[in-house]
Amino acid sequence: MNYDMFIAGALGFGPAVILMYYTLKDYTYPAVEKPFFEDRKAFGIFAVGLVIGTIIYSIQTWFSMTLLLVALIFAVLEELVKLVILNFPRFQGKLDTSFYGITLGLGIGATMGFGAVYITIGQLGDLTASAWAVLIVIAAQFVLLHGANGMLIGIGVARKMPWPYFAQAVLVHLAYNMLMIPFFTGDELLGYPLFILATIILVLSYYQAWKRFLPDLIRTEVSRFEKRTKG
């Protein structure tokens, strides 16, 4: 039996599910009496992200991401897709949009991570331990990148300030794509150091959005709600 698809699925979906659980668990039942978002809608948008991620990765395989112009164009387009979806009138200015941005981004990242692993296994066959380690990190990179940026754009839409947060998401994506070019072109001097740097940037970006920007948004909205109810 060919286990490539199961392995790719575990490496792509595993990090997404783990991050979704730990990011959202403090904002829904039983951690809070009144959840900040609808579970059914969050999983529905996660499913939308899975479809979008599949489409994006399929299109990307037609191009060489080692070309600077291609890397720049896809960085902007991928974040623009998130903005278009999260900026629908039904989501504008609503607190729960930030959480749907998380699940949208994690869905996109999960299928892109899956695609990267599955295609690499199919092309290279037997992999060394170090190659597996790199592949695991790359799958996690996709999840972190799109999860963090989906969260950022969702927060921006919730604050009715989509463009500054969209710009930040694009900058993170551009930085990641450019840092990874030497790695994918086989640059022995810069490839792995920049690969590590790109991973650190993504971890910090996700952590900042999760632990700083999201709590700040919630505190602001809760404070506004309390003022309205007291007034």
- The predicted-structure confidence for 24-68, as pLDDT tens digits, reads as follows 999 999 898 889 999 999 999 999 999 999 999 999 999 988 898
Which candidate, 111, 103, 110, places its Cα nearest to that of 86?
Answer: 103
* Rounded distance between C-alpha atoms, residue 205 and residue 199, angstroms: 10
Instruction: Give the range of the structural domain holding residue 172, as residue numbers without chain letter.
Output: 4-230
Using pLDDT thresholds of 50, 70 and 90, give the confidence band for residue 73.
very high
Say if residue 125's pLDDT is above 80: no
Mean pLDDT of the chain: 93
Instruction: Write out pLDDT tens, residues 135-167.
Output: 999 999 999 999 999 999 999 999 999 999 999
Total domains in the chain come to: 1
Residues 6+ apart with CB under 8 A from 60: 74
pLDDT for 196 equals 97
